[in-house]
Amino acid sequence: MKTKTNYLLALFLLSLACTSCNKFLDVTPDQRADLEKNENIGELLATAYPQANYIPFTEAISDNAGDKGSGTVSQVNSAPFLFQDVADIYSDSPTYYWNAAYKAIAAANHALQAIEKQGKGATLNAFKGEALVARAYAHFMLVKLFAWGDDPKENAGKPGIPYVTSVEDVVVKKYERGTVGQVYEAIEKDLLAGLPLLDDRIYKSPKYHFTTNAAHAFASRFYLFKKNYAKVIEHSNLVLGSGDPKSLLRQVNSATYRSLQYYELEAQYTRAENAANILLVEAPSIWGRSYPRYRYSFDYPTFQSLFGSNVSGGSWGYNIYGNDVTLNIPKFREHFVRQDLHAETGIPYNMIPLFTMEEVLFNRAEANSMLGNFDAALVDLNHYVATRMVVSQQNPVFSAALLLSRNKLLNFYETSDLQYALVQCVLDLKRFNFMHEGMRWFDIIRHKLKVVHRTTDGKVLTLGPNDPMRIFQIPQEAQSSGIELNPR
C-alpha cells in the first residue's frame, strides 16, 4: 500500500502545527503537546530525519539498473531509468522525499525553538546538537538530489534549495532557493555547531539518532563532496578509530554470514545491532518487496559485469538469489504495520541505512588516494577485501592471495597512474557493496560519470554530466511558494 502526501512546501514547514506555532504547542497529532519537557523534545527529534526512501529513484537512474524486459512496472522505477521526471507523488518518489525532508526540517526547527525558550542544560544542549546536525543532513540530501549539488565550488552560483532555519507561522510564505554555495555554507555551519554538543548517553536507541559517530560519518561524506580530503580523513578516523576496522564491517565472506538463509540475511542487514550500521531510519516504502521484481533493476548483464573478473582475482562472497529477472542480494526486510489488530490494510516500512562503516572506510580510502597517501588507501581497501572476497564460489574461503597490491591495481586497470587505479577501485568496490541501496548515484554525480541505459526494444539512452535530467524535479506544488522549478 502506498501512502499519500498532501503537503506544499509551506505546509510541510507547518506540518507539525495546526494554524499557528501557538496552536502547535497546544495540540499536535501525536500528542507531544508539552515541549517544556525534555522527553517530548527528544520524541520530536525522532521525527527530524526524512522518513522517506530515496533508493528507488536513485538506484533506477544509475548504471546499476538494466532493462530486464519484464517485471513490475512502476513510475518510481521506470521514469528515472528512462531519464524522465517522476509524476508519482507517493512513497518512494522524489516528491515524497522532498516533502519528508522539509517535514524533518520543520521538526528540527520546532525543537530548536523550544530549546531556545527553555535555556541551557546538558540534555538540552545535546538535543540542540542533534537538531542542528539533523537539519544540516536533510538540507544536504535535498541539495544533492534537487540541485546541482555535486560540486559546491564549480556550481556555487547555481540555484540551490530553500534553507529553512525558522518555525513558520503563516500558511503560505514565499521562499528563495538561494545558491548551491549558500546552501553548503549553511549546512557546514549547522554541522560544525551541532557536532560538539552531541551526547550519546541521552539515547535509548542510538542507531536511530545522530550520535557522535553518525555525525562524523555525515561530515566524512559532506567533505568528500567539498573535496576537502584532509577533513574527510579527520572525520573518518573519528568513526573508524586507529586500529583494524574489519570488525566494524559486515563479514560477508565468513562461513557464518554465508550460512544465513534468505530471510535471515534480510533481517540481519539493517539490524541496529549490526556494527556496520551507523544511522538507520524507518521509512514507509515498498522497496523491500519490490526491488527484485522491478523491470528496471539489477539485471543479468550487470550481474555478469560486476560478478565477473574483479581486481582481487577472486569472487564476491555474497550469495545472489533469484533468476534472470529477479536477481537480488537480500538487504531489506519489510515491516508491515496494520491499521489496527484486525485490519487487512496498513503501511509497509523498510529500515534504511543512512550511514555505514563501509561508506566511511571508502571515503577515507578515496581521500587518501586523492592526497597521494597511496599506502594508507591500499590498507583500507584490503581491510574491505578481507571481509568480502573468496577464492571462488566452489572454494568460498578468503585467502591472503586476494589482497590488493600496487601492481595488481595497475595491471587490472591498465594504467601507470596509481592514483587513478586506486580511485577506480574504490568506486568499483563501492558500487557493488551498495547494490540496491541507491548510493551509486551519488558517486555518479560527484565524479560526473555518464550513464547509458539500453532498453529491450533497442533504444540507447544517455545521461551526460551536464544533462538537466541529472537533478530531480522540484514538486510542481512548490511553485505556490515562489520556488523556481529546475529547467527541462
Please report, for the chain, the start and end positions of each structural domain, with discontinuous segments joined by +: 35-68+88-468
Is the CB of residue 101 less than 8 Å from the CB of residue 480?
Answer: no
**Torsion-angle region of 271 (φ positive above 0: left; ψ -120 to 50: alpha; else: beta):** beta
Q: Which amino acid is at 163?
A: Y
How high is the pLDDT of residue 172?
Answer: 65
How high is the pLDDT of residue 15?
Answer: 44
Q: Which amino acid is at 436?
A: H
How high is the pLDDT of residue 9?
Answer: 42
Q: Which residues pair with 347 in a beta bridge?
A: 337
Residue 456: CB atoms within 10 A of its CB come to 12
**Maximal C-alpha separation, the chain:** 67
How high is the pLDDT of residue 449?
Answer: 98
Q: Which residues of the chain fall short of a pLDDT of 70?
A: 1-34, 169-172
Fold of 35-68+88-468: 1.25.40
User: How many angstroms separate the CA atoms of 51 and 97, rounded?
Assistant: 8
Q: Which amino acid is at 111?
A: A
How high is the pLDDT of residue 169?
Answer: 67
| Cell numbers standing for residue 103 | 517535514
User: How many angstroms separate the CA atoms of 17 and 29, rounded?
Assistant: 9
In what helix (H) or strand (E) does residue 206 lie, and over which residues does it extend? none
How high is the pLDDT of residue 7?
Answer: 37
Q: Which amino acid is at 194?
A: G
Residue 325: CB atoms within 10 A of its CB come to 17
Contacts of 67 (CB under 8 A, 6+ apart): 81, 295, 296, 299, 453, 454, 455, 456
Residue with cell string 502547535: 24
How high is the pLDDT of residue 120?
Answer: 81
Dump pLDDT digits (tens) for 175-195: 999 999 999 999 999 999 999
Q: Is 343 helix (H, G, I), strand (E, B) or coil?
A: coil
Residue 484, CA distances (Å) to 14, 176, 178, 274, 480 in order: 20, 8, 11, 42, 10
pTM of the predicted model over 0.85: yes
User: How many angstroms separate the CA atoms of 50 and 66, rounded?
Assistant: 28
- Rg, C-alpha atoms of the chain: 22
